[in-house]
């Protein structure tokens, strides 16, 4: 049985959910961002216990098809933005999302907006800005290098989006001592 789990956004999430499933005496045959294939098929009582245990850790079992697909869209975006080099992506991000999910992008866009009250494009921008914040904090790349890595046409374009979303420039953010980043599952 494949379980769909909301808020799995990183390798650590996969590890935590895997351990939880094994503690529930379920054998994990495959696990990825947002999904876990388990055997044997859980009973209703096990599903209720699992749902409660997941909620205490900030995760959630997803049962509606719309929500499952929306979560898959989020997982693809997180994987692309946070775990790959967008400068090497030779396609439009929206095209990649549609291809990975084997669905028409217009359909995915309408569904995502309906369920999440935000467009996929705005969600992508939010994710990119969080990744930019991370890269700025590391201090290993300058703004031009970050813009290139994140697939922006220029550092000016990145700066404009950054300021529009955060209210401050990347330079001002870097000068702050406080960590202004958001957890990925809160975006």
Res. 177: pLDDT tops 70: no
**Alpha carbons 169 and 159: distance in angstroms, whole number:** 6
* Predicted TM-score of the model (pTM): 0.72
Is there a single domain that holds both residue 53 and residue 127? no
Is there a single domain that holds both residue 97 and residue 12? no
**Alpha carbons 60 and 45: distance in angstroms, whole number:** 16
pLDDT bucket at 179, cuts 50 / 70 / 90: low
Is there a single domain that holds both residue 98 and residue 126? yes
CATH code of residue 70: 1.10.10.60
Which of 12, 44, 63 marks a domain boundary?
Answer: 63
Q: State which residues form the domain around 21.
A: 2-63
CATH code of residue 38: 3.30.70
Position 42 scores a pLDDT of 86
Is there a single domain that holds both residue 105 and residue 18? no
Is there a single domain that holds both residue 96 and residue 127? yes
Per-residue model confidence as pLDDT tens digits over 2-27: 999 988 888 899 999 999 999 988 99
Position 47 scores a pLDDT of 87
Which of 33, 63, 93 marks a domain boundary?
Answer: 63
Residue 155 Cα distances to 7, 140, 150, 177, angstroms:
31, 16, 10, 23
Of 67, 69, 91, nearest to 80 by C-alpha is 91
Res. 175: pLDDT tops 90: no
**Alpha carbons 144 and 163: distance in angstroms, whole number:** 16
Per-residue model confidence as pLDDT tens digits over 47-60: 889 999 999 999 98
pLDDT bucket at 87, cuts 50 / 70 / 90: confident
Which of 34, 63, 92 marks a domain boundary?
Answer: 63
Q: What's the mean per-residue pLDDT of the chain?
A: 90
Is there a single domain that holds both residue 48 and residue 134? no
């Amino acid at each position: 049985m494949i379980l769909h789990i909301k808020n799995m956004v990183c390798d650590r999430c996969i590890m935590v959910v895997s351990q939880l499933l094994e503690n529930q005496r379920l054998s994990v045959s495959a696990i990825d961002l947002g999904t876990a294939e388990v055997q044997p098929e859980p009973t209703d009582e096990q599903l209720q216990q699992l749902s409660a245990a997941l909620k205490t850790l900030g995760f959630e079992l997803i049962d509606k098809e719309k929500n499952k697909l929306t979560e898959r869209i989020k997982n693809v975006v997180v994987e692309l933005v946070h775990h790959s080099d967008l400068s090497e992506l030779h396609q439009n991000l929206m095209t990649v999302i549609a291809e990975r999910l084997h669905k028409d992008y217009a359909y995915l866009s309408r569904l995502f907006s309906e369920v999440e009250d935000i467009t996929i494009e705005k969600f992508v921008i939010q994710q990119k800005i969080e990744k930019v914040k991370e890269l700025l904090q590391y201090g290993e790349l300058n703004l031009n290098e970050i813009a290139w890595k994140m697939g922006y046409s220029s550092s000016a374009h990145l700066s404009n989006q950054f300021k529009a979303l955060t209210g401050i420039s990347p330079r001002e953010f870097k000068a702050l001592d406080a960590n202004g980043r958001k957890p990925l599952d809160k975006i």
